[in-house]
Amino acid sequence: MRPEKGAVALEFLLLFPLVIAMLYGAITYGILFFGKYEMQSAVDQAASSALRVDRTRFSADDLSGQIVATANATLEQSWASRSQRLRAGTESIDCDVSATAGINFLSCVISRNNLDAPMVPQLTFGFLGKFPPMPDSMRAEATMAF
């Protein structure tokens, strides 16, 4: 039987980068999923704030405008309270009313450009490309009928 000095060190040397890459990927995706959750939470708060508008105080013509104003104010306030890293790269933040088949819908949307301002830095490995792969953009939307 030959002595195998250094075999464990060699195995560690070969496997260590893979273990670190897996950990970095897991942490990165955790941060991305949390960011998406935060975006969705902000638009959900904006849409639900429109439900608290007193409909008896406004005419049918003014109601839509008041609902949009309330939702946009809540969305701006909610989004401003999020972390700077999450808010960086925001392309649009808006609530708007649309009508379909005689039903009015309030839709609040946040979209974020992940290419120009990534939430987590990507590592570049030459011909292998960027790691971990991330979406180019992230979008959260909440819609409610009124």
Exposure pattern of 122-145 as b/e (b: 16+ CB <10 Å)? eeeeeeeeeebebeeebebebebe
pLDDT digits (tens, 9 = 90+) for 67-114: 999 999 999 999 999 988 888 889 999 999 998 998 999 999 999 998
Residue 133 has pLDDT above 80, yes or no: yes
Tokens read off for 112: 């974020």
Q: Give the pLDDT of residue 37.
A: 96
In angstroms, the Cα distances linking 146 to 60, 98, 100 are 11, 11, 12
Regarding pTM above 0.75, the answer is yes
Mean pLDDT, the chain, integer = 90
Q: What are the tokens at 130?
A: 């960027």
Residue 2, token pair as written in the block: 């030959």
Q: pLDDT-based confidence at 130, cuts 50/70/90?
A: confident
**pLDDT exceeds 70 at position 1:** no
Tell me the pLDDT tens digit for each residue of 10-33: 888 999 988 998 999 999 999 999
Of 106, 118, 98, 117, which is closest to residue 74 (Cα–Cα)?
106
